[in-house]
Amino acid sequence: QLQLQESGSGLVKPSQTLSLTCAVSGGSISSGGYSWSWIRQPPGKGLEWIGYIYHSGSTYYNPSLKSRVTISVDRSKNQFSLKLSSVTAADTAVYYCAREGEGLDFPFFDYWGQGTLVTVSS
């Protein structure tokens, strides 16, 4: 059974960089056809897709966040990471990592991490 687990700093100061990692177990992050996404949810609000990294290393980002987002992969550790720069209070949210199969023509999020709350505050 595939499992995803987010980790990282739960408190980030304004203007600094948010950094999170998603560890994947029960399967290889290099499995062909799958992409690995970050999605966030501000408290009490809806879901916002941040971006994804394809198994090949290609990345695609939400245009509204593109200038501040970097997603990378560490295949040796079977994990992928998110960096979001110049954060403000508006970036306070639960951050989820998830798998989707865009390369398999299945662009839906079928496995999710439990989510981690990141608060931006001085």
Partner 1 sequence: EIVLTQSPGTLSLSPGERATLSCRASQSVSSSYLAWYQQKPGQAPRLLIYGASSRATGIPDRFSGSGSGTDFTLTISRLEPEDFAVYYCQQYGSSLRVYTFGQGTKLEIK
Specify the DSSP class assigned to residue 28. -
CA distance 37 to 51: 6
- The reply to whether 26 sits near partner 1 by the rule CB under 8 A is no
* Residue matched to tokens 């001085």: 122
- The reply to whether 37 sits near partner 1 by the rule CB under 8 A is yes
The one among 48, 70, 78, 83 contacting partner 1 by CB under 8 A: 48
Q: Site residues for partner 1, window 52-111 (CB under 8 A)?
A: 60, 62-63, 96, 98, 102, 105-110
Q: Which of 18, 17, 57 is nearest to 36 (CA)?
A: 57
Where are any strands of DSSP class E within the chain?
3-8, 11-12, 18-25, 35-41, 48-54, 59-61, 69-74, 79-84, 93-101, 106-112, 116-120
- The reply to whether 8 sits near partner 1 by the rule CB under 8 A is no
Stretch that binds partner 1, among 11-19, 42-50, 70-78, 82-90 (CB under 8 A): 42-50
> How many amino acids of this chain bind partner 1 (CB under 8 A)?
21
Residue 63 or 88 having the CB closest to partner 1 = 63
- Report, in Å, the least distance between residue 41 CB and partner 1: 9
Q: Which of 25, 23, 40, 35 is nearest to 96 (CA)?
A: 40
Kindly list the residues in this chain that would bind partner 1 in the complex (CB under 8 A). Answer: 37, 46-49, 60, 62-63, 96, 98, 102, 105-110, 112-115
